[in-house]
Structure 1
Amino acid sequence: MNNMNQLQLQMNATLDRRRDIAKLRRLVVNPVDNIDFSSNDFLGLSYSKTMRQEYLNELQSMPFILGSTGSRLLDGNSQYAHDLEERIAKFHGAESALIFNSGFDANAGLFSTVPQKGDIILYDALVHASVHEGMRISRAAQLIPFAHSDVGDLTMKLEGIKDTKQNIFVAVETVYSMDGDIAPLNEIVQVLRSYWPNGENGFLIVDEAHATGVYGDHGRGIVSQFGLEKMVFARLHTFSKALASNGAVILGSETLRQYLINYARPLIYSTFMSFSSLALIQTAYNQLESDETKKIQDHLHNLTRRFRNTICLPTGNLLPSNSPIQGVVLNGNAPVRALASYLNQLGFIVKPICSPTVPKGQERVRICLHGHNTVSQVDDLVQSIHTFFNVNNSLESKL
């Protein structure tokens, strides 16, 4: 009991230190009647009555139990899952697909197992924590970061290792979750092919989590939009953002699929997702293939342009993003939290993003636009941000 009390004291002391520097994380329930400018529900499918009804219809038509009942390698597999994977692979122009319970599981499983002993991973400095988790326990001999979306820095790092006989993996995202900018994917592919024209031992891994549903024909992603399907070793698409579902898929060769089935621990030792979850993914892909979703995508990109064209920041800056993810960067943590709190009080759901989630000094209010947002809601948000700056500038001038 004394040891337990001591442990509790140690944990509380650690939490107190985080609280003192205003970095204590909390679980918050958003007010249901507030306007969402925070979530990753980019197409607004979570609110779609059409998708809800089609999902219920899909559940009714399934001659299966709701749960999976076990690991996919034991009792959790099904023909329904295989058929869904084949459909997803075909939709995205890939040879093969393998579903994971989450994007975190997929990235962790991929990066922890595929690099062989002595291999090298070059990764964009802003790749997701799940990639870092996989790399941390991988057999790679070197983990080399390169400056965010900096093709010149990537080239310099590749130049230093170009003569290695080991496999070299380059890890990037297409749309970065905190900055919202789009990777120079064509240029990165060109650099890799300049060293390995036939992809001999230079392999590109692309995380499309925040591009799925938003970019490419019917939301197939940026790799598809640029026609680079055959240039990418592995792609990750998540279902939990624009597709209003949960889980993720790794796209690649059939050899990669079989390898992950045999070695990816998050897949092997986790109960597979339920039939009800698979049915929701199936329904989401029905939506992607419909013309209605195309209209939502057009509306979403129109809202993004309107937001960027109408906002004016007297201090700080707007991150250079043309995606639905927008970042208002101010000076230090306090102004960021103050702006977020001000907008929350007006009924807008936005969140301050502080270090260590983003580098110190780059704290921002993260704003996400959605297919269910209206033009008037975006205009109201922009006007409220302008009002915040006008009020604060007025107060500062009186001091």
Structure 2
Amino acid sequence: MNLSFLKESIIKICKEIEELPPEKRNRGTVYFNGVSTTKEIFNNETYEKTLSKLLDEKTGLSKVVSYTMIAGNLNKIINNNLDTTNKSKQITDDIQKFSKYANNTQKHSVYIPIKGLDLFDTEEVYFSPNIKIHNLNMKRIIDFLTIGTFDDADVKYLSPTMLEVSTETADIEKSGEFAIEIGKYIVNFFRLADFFGWNEENLAVRLPGFGGTRESMRAYIVKEDSNSTTFTYQQVKDLSENYELDDKEYINYIGYEKFGHLLQKNLDHNLGSMDKSILRALTWFGESKVEHDLGARFVKLTLAVETLLNSNDSDPITATLRDRTAFILGKEVSERIDISKEMSTLYKQRSGIVHHGKSDVDLKSLLKLESYTADLIRAFLTDKDYLGITDKTELHKQIEKLKFKS
């Protein structure tokens, strides 16, 4: 793999960050996909382009190294060389170490559970030489995993249906990612098969930790050349943080009183069309927060925006949502122009996901869309200009009034 471009990029990133005014440095971190990145680095355009290039499959790096290792090593090299004098030699050494690590691939066998799948008397489902499903009611788990490294809870977690994926990567985390991606496809394949079986019941078949569930996902990864060593890699963690309602500051800020009225109107079967749109948008937003797939998360946020702002099927969707978001959230002309441009860009990404099957979602764009969506919902729960709107016709009139306000 060719990482020759990396040195020049890192030197440029360091120089651009070092030139930032003091008030724009050391202003917190962004935590994503297991990697903590300082905001001064995360917001740097050269960094964003460099990371995207490293993650592009054309470089070959992302085929054998996980996001965590790629982003983590890039961040480490940058931080090691910020505010230093002799950058060139140190960066070269750091890149060589990383390149050597990435080139040292090893074979792994990865085992993860598929829940809600009953194989009955089928001992094994063979998809390819590297992908199989085992029925642990008919096979011994010690035929696959090293005895002594697993307790009863581990055995129970993988039983009764276990997916085995054979991989060759530079780090176990990437092997875990591959197996889990394969697992998601297999789960949806069985859902499709169930559809053609004319079964209208909701299937229990699932991969822990994905979709609407918040189970944890653990991948058990064994090095093929050293069966005595078994690793456990946790891809998705359980919810670990409670919402602490020690005061009502934030729930008041986002419209606690209006929300209470909507709940009561729902109970009284008295919701208006705009009321239903607000509650549905709130639901899409909440579901996006527990969705692990970034593409699905992005689409659910756009659904929340469309639910709130789109009037009918004949409206040009991008233009309508772009303009309405800009006029609701922007107070000055320049701010509205910026929001309008950003919403157009975001909807191009949505089109790529929905119509062209793109799966690479830019985190910065996702966070921007999430912010706009949250602010829109809050506007309909707190802003006096939108609190009394009962339907999309009134919303249209309000936006038109803002457009032509002298």
* TM-score (norm: length of structure 1): 0.30
Pick 1 or 2: higher relative contact order, CA cutoff 8 A, min separation 6: 1
